[in-house]
Amino acid sequence: MWKPPAPPPDPEWIVATAPVRPALPGFRVLAGGLASGLLAAALLTEGLGVNVLLWALIGAVAAGLAAAAAGRRVRPWTVVWTVAALVLLLVPALVEASWPVVLALLAAAGAGSLALHGGKRWPGVLLGPIGIWPHLIPGLGWALLSLRNRQYPARARVVSIVKAAGVSLALLVVFGALFASADAAVAELLGDLAPSVDTDDLPMQVLLFLAGLLVALAAAHTAAGPRRFDRLPVKPGRARGRLEWAVPLVALNLLFGAFVAVQAVVFVGGYESVMRKPGMIPAEYARQGFWQLLIVTLLVLVVLALAGRWAPRSTPRDRAMAKTLLALLCSLTMVVVASALYRMHRYVDNFGLTRLRISVATVEIWLGVVLLLVLVGGILASSRWLPRAVVLSAVATTAVFGLISPDAMIAEQNVHRYEQTGRIDVGYLRDLSADAVPALDRLPQDQRICALQKIAQDLGDDQLPWYATSLAEARAREILRDRPVPLMNGSCGRIGVRLGSSYSGGYEY
């Protein structure tokens, strides 16, 4: 008799990282998921603020209950990742600009997922931040299976009451609609009796309810049975011969040493002496040099990863040589990072701070921190902490970047530069968010009005609820209420700012 062929075995990585099948959730976990959905529908419809943090706390409670029921213990790094996620969720409550808020929300989701999974090795800390998403549908099925298999008090009676109520409601709606269409007096009576429900936001509220429910149940399902990414098999790299491995690194260190020596000579002699050479444009020198050095830093991290994988390690002498060469490369690259940041500082002094410039400078600073961590990890006998430290540094950098309010810093730097030099790009500052209002409010009359007009129009007169409003927006509204900005008075034209044809609103053109 013919038999169907056996299904192929699961890949090795799926078998190795397979989670323990979690027990069905209790009522408290299910109630936490339901509360998360209701809170998302009630608070997240109108905007982002402290409501995101409140919603996340409910989901964290549900995940904690599921983890406790599964017998998982709270470890120090679980607390670290949880606190990091909650700090990141403070950004929407304090900052109005959408771009740092989006970065903070993504980083918070990653840190929260990593808190649920744990992880010490590189596979764990790199895959843990995205590990919660495959639990969205299984988490819902997990909850439904629990509801189906659970025995409730007076279950038959409750089911009968629900069925009777549903049939009664359907009959009343059908026949009530027919009677209302047949007689105007009945229609008026039914209209007075029926409760008034605002359905404008109903579709969005339903979507937010489902999203809040799914995320909370996914977090609980992950906490009860996470996939063990740390068990992902990673074959060690084949150690190369000492000559084959060391010569390229020695050559690279010599090249970096020569660059650092030139930078030292230039720094001692002063950048101005270099800038006075024929054909040398200071702005181009600083801007192009920064981007090239940023790429150099990224490539060095790749070289360090590959060199660490292929480094000879069979004898103490081989290990000492590998540590020495890699530590020297890290140290020289940190000088490259300092040079890149100094060039960006010079460029910003000449042309002002922008979103792109502050973003890439932040990335360069973070890369410098990573290099420092790698250097310390190479010096110490053990670097088991390195994967988590690198990811934590990225999370911390994102949190600091959001909490310092980049738009406010951009406005503050440009206003200070204007007070020193009289130069300012008001046309660019018009596109900043409400975070920039306190600094832009210090500008002279025409510059102030032109810079704040678009922000004032974007804020409008509609005041959002406290839980959906950032502190920066509330502060901006207070400033603009005390010193209103006229929408049409020719201020931009008087200071030479031309508004693009795509610009719309009640302003001047």
Give the model's pLDDT for residue 180. 72
Domains in the chain: how many in total?
4
Q: Decide if pLDDT at 429 tops 90.
A: yes
In a domain, 220, yes or no: yes
Average pLDDT value for residue range 14-31: 84
**Are 347 and 383 members of one domain?**
yes
In a domain, 236, yes or no: no
User: Which of 378, 404, 430 is where one domain is finished?
Assistant: 404
**Are 109 and 123 members of one domain?**
yes
As given in the structure block, the two tokens for residue 506 are 């009640």
Asked whether 439 and 353 are in contact (CB, 8 A), the reply is: no
Give the model's pLDDT for residue 232. 83
pLDDT-derived band at 508 (thresholds 50, 70, 90) equals very low
Q: How far is CA 191 from the centre of its chain?
A: 47
In a domain, 347, yes or no: yes
In a domain, 413, yes or no: no
Q: Please give the residue that has the higher pLDDT: either 173 or 89.
A: 89
User: In the chain, what percentage of residues exceed pLDDT 70?
Assistant: 84
**CA nearest to 48, candidates 106, 110, 91, 107:** 91
**Are 341 and 263 members of one domain?**
yes
- Beta-carbon contacts of residue 281 (< 8 Å; ≥ 6 apart): none
**Are 57 and 125 members of one domain?**
yes
**Are 79 and 208 members of one domain?**
yes
Report the distance separating Cα 352 and Cα 349, nearest Å: 6
As given in the structure block, the two tokens for residue 9 are 């075995």
Q: Decide if pLDDT at 364 tops 70.
A: yes
**Are 282 and 159 members of one domain?**
no
In a domain, 365, yes or no: yes
pLDDT-derived band at 505 (thresholds 50, 70, 90) equals very low
Average pLDDT value for residue range 408-424: 94
C-alpha dist (Å) from residue 214 to 63, 85, 113, 260 = 12, 19, 14, 53
Which residue range forms the structural domain that includes residue 362?
Answer: 242-404
Give the model's pLDDT for residue 426. 94
Of 264-278, 323-337, 400-414, highest mean pLDDT = 400-414
Q: Decide if pLDDT at 12 tops 80.
A: no
**Which secondary structure element, helix H or strand E, spans residue 215, and what is its range?**
helix 202-224
Q: Decide if pLDDT at 39 tops 90.
A: yes
Q: Decide if pLDDT at 467 tops 60.
A: yes
Average pLDDT value for residue range 326-354: 88
Ordered alpha helix ranges (H), 353-436: 355-379, 386-403, 406-421, 426-429
Give the model's pLDDT for residue 509. 28
Q: Decide if pLDDT at 302 tops 80.
A: yes
In a domain, 410, yes or no: no
**Are 430 and 320 members of one domain?**
no
Find where tokens 């503050």 sit.
Answer: 412
Q: Decide if pLDDT at 277 tops 60.
A: no
**Are 31 and 172 members of one domain?**
no
Average pLDDT value for residue range 4-13: 66
**Are 396 and 472 members of one domain?**
no
Report the distance separating Cα 52 and Cα 447, nearest Å: 36
In a domain, 81, yes or no: yes
Q: Decide if pLDDT at 290 tops 90.
A: no
Question: pLDDT for 186-230, tens place per residue?
Answer: 666 666 555 544 556 788 888 999 999 999 999 999 999 998 898
Q: Please give the residue that has the higher pLDDT: either 180 or 23.
A: 23
- Beta-carbon contacts of residue 207 (< 8 Å; ≥ 6 apart): none
**Are 187 and 125 members of one domain?**
no
**To the nearest whole number, what is the mean pLDDT of the chain?**
84
Give the model's pLDDT for residue 162. 66
User: Which of 375, 404, 433 is where one domain is finished?
Assistant: 404
Average pLDDT value for residue range 460-485: 90
Lowest mean pLDDT among 261-270, 271-280, 308-317: 271-280
Asked whether 124 and 391 are in contact (CB, 8 A), the reply is: no
**Are 137 and 169 members of one domain?**
no
Give the model's pLDDT for residue 502. 36
Q: Give the count of beta carbons closer than 10 Å to the beta carbon of residue 442.
A: 14
**Are 175 and 29 members of one domain?**
no
The contacts found for 132-135 with CB under 8 angstroms, 24 or more apart, are: 132/218, 132/219, 132/222, 133/218, 134/227, 135/218, 135/219, 135/221, 135/222
Q: Decide if pLDDT at 51 tops 90.
A: yes
Q: Decide if pLDDT at 501 tops 50.
A: no
pLDDT-derived band at 410 (thresholds 50, 70, 90) equals very high
Work out the end-to-end distance of the chain between its first and last CA atoms, rounded to an integer number of angstroms.
83
What DSSP string describes 304-358? HHHHHHH---SSHHHHHHHHHHHHHHHHHHHHHHHHHHHHHHHHHHHH---HHHH
Average pLDDT value for residue range 461-483: 90
Give the model's pLDDT for residue 279. 52
Give the model's pLDDT for residue 293. 81
Question: pLDDT for 88-142, tens place per residue?
Answer: 999 999 999 999 999 999 999 999 999 999 888 888 999 999 999 999 999 999 9
In a domain, 17, yes or no: no
pTM of the model: 0.85
**CA nearest to 48, candidates 471, 505, 427, 479:** 471
Asked whether 89 and 45 are in contact (CB, 8 A), the reply is: no
CA torsion through residues 95, 99, 102, 103, sign = negative
Average pLDDT value for residue range 378-393: 84
